[in-house]
Amino acid sequence: MTSQLHKKGEAWSARFSEPVSDLVKRYTASVFFDKRLALFDIEGSLAHADMLAAQGIISAQDLADIQRGMTQIRGEIEGGQFEWQLDLEDVHLNIEARLTALIGDAGKRLHTGRSRNDQVATDIRLWLRSEIDNIGTHLGDLRRALLDLAEQHSATILPGFTHLQVAQPVTFGHHLMAYFEMFSRDAERMLDVRRRVNRLPLGAAALAGTSYPIDRERVAATLGFEEVCTNSLDAVSDRDFAIEFTAAAALVMTHVSRFSEELVLWMSPRVGFIDLADRFCTGSSIMPQKKNPDVPELARGKTGRVNGHLIALLTLMKGQPLAYNKDNQEDKEPLFDTVDTVIDTLRIFADMVPGIKVREANMRNAALQGFSTATDLADYLVKKGLPFRDAHEIVAHAVKICSDRDIDLADLSLAELQKFSPLVGEDVFEYLTLEGSVASRNHIGGTAPAQVQRAIAAARAKLAK
């Protein structure tokens, strides 16, 4: 035996005259976080060994030993008995050392035609692919929850805002469906990213490929990769797939954060549009009356860390010459935390949305203030033949007068309204109601209850596919 992996340094020790210090050991080790990749590392190793045997590079007996050893190691890891050693630096060397301890020389043959560089890139891709699928499931759950709530409130009216000023009445179902659209695009984006994650780096070896007669297509098929990375230097070095995943994740969080901002606002007693179930809120240790929307606030806050991870990964990559550099070991913690944050957040929101208590009367009262049907009055005058700009001016004048008198447009009498324009007829009051306003916006993408119901039905059909 010329080398023993479990004595760190000996795998490459002939080249070195002194061991690394404990601080450097700790600084360079990744095992305490990359052990999270262990089962994917084993999966990748088994696919590699299977190919080596099929190509006659290792014997059938070696393969059988490797499979047996890996089965035991998997059991040890799942059972929590595996002894992770800092001395062995990372997940790859820990597992390989244990394999060799269990099965001897066959364990030392596993690394033939492979490097930790293509191994780690493969592990991350396998892991990320499965997490993207999990995120897809949780996005689906949240979207379904939004659809259910939207369906209950396809005709509930609240003020729609621009500049956070009352603009026009909208239906709450329509408002919720806006978030449904955002999360649907997020799901689409994740699937798109998945295609580029789902490519095989193994075979690139350290950077230049390998002199053994390997079969990369076979490994790709075993591991369910759609394609093989076609340039070895690129395969071991670029982490653009991790960056674009994190960008997609940052958008998921951004959408959650916008929704959170609204939930917080809506729950303020000054607004009072909704109430969140108690289990998503906490009280105050000093103010007995408080019920704080902690979950949406925290989600809004956690969006910052995911945005931070995106910048961390972009910065990690930008200065790296080809090919692999140790910098890339720093890709893992941001990725892990991004996945954990997104998944926890989506799970909590999918659970929280069905419990949103909607205070319909408060929404309606708010929509009755702020002249939300002013545009409807202008549109009414246009339908009676007035050019839109003139109608806009007349209604602005009427709003000013109502505002001074602290009344709504609908509180004006017919005679008073006719003073603003002789075109006003008795039918005007239908146009000034909230229901009339929303019902009139009856086209694809409009807020009319009929359109909201259509959008919900179309969304359900799409989700069921």
Please identify every residue annotated as catalytic.
163, 284
Q: In angstroms, what is the C-alpha Rg of the chain?
A: 31
Tracing tokens 């209604």 back to the chain, one arrives at 395
Nearer to ligand ARG, 100 or 117 (CB): 117
CB of 27 to ligand ARG, least distance (A): 13
Nearer to ligand ARG, 114 or 216 (CB): 114
CB of 65 to ligand ARG, least distance (A): 24
List contacts with ligand ARG (CB under 6 A): 30, 34, 90, 116-117, 120, 324, 326, 328-329
Relative orientation angle of helices 294-318 and 332-352, to the nearest 10 degrees:
160
Nearer to ligand ARG, 173 or 334 (CB): 334
CB of 324 to ligand ARG, least distance (A): 6
Sequence-ordered list of residues with C-beta below 8 angstroms from that of 366, at least 6 positions apart, any chain: 158, 159, 166, 271, 273
CB of 34 to ligand ARG, least distance (A): 6
**Pairing between β-strand 157-162 and β-strand 165-171 as defined by DSSP bridges:** antiparallel
CB of 332 to ligand ARG, least distance (A): 6
- Percent of the chain that is helix, strand, coil (3-state, to 5): 65, 5, 30
Spatial CA neighbour of 166 closest among 408, 445, 424 = 408
Nearer to ligand ARG, 114 or 359 (CB): 114
CB of 30 to ligand ARG, least distance (A): 4
Nearer to ligand ARG, 124 or 264 (CB): 124
Nearer to ligand ARG, 307 or 328 (CB): 328
Tracing tokens 């913690």 back to the chain, one arrives at 333
**Pairing between β-strand 274-275 and β-strand 199-200 as defined by DSSP bridges:** unpaired
Buried b (16+ CB within 10 A) or exposed e, 250-268: bbbbbbbbebbebbbbbbe
How far, in Å, are 12, 401, 408, 433 from residue 404 at the CA level?
85, 5, 10, 21
CA atoms 308, 314, 318, 323: torsion sign: positive
CA atoms 94, 99, 100, 105: torsion sign: negative
How far, in Å, are 380, 408, 417, 424 from residue 395 at the CA level?
10, 12, 10, 11
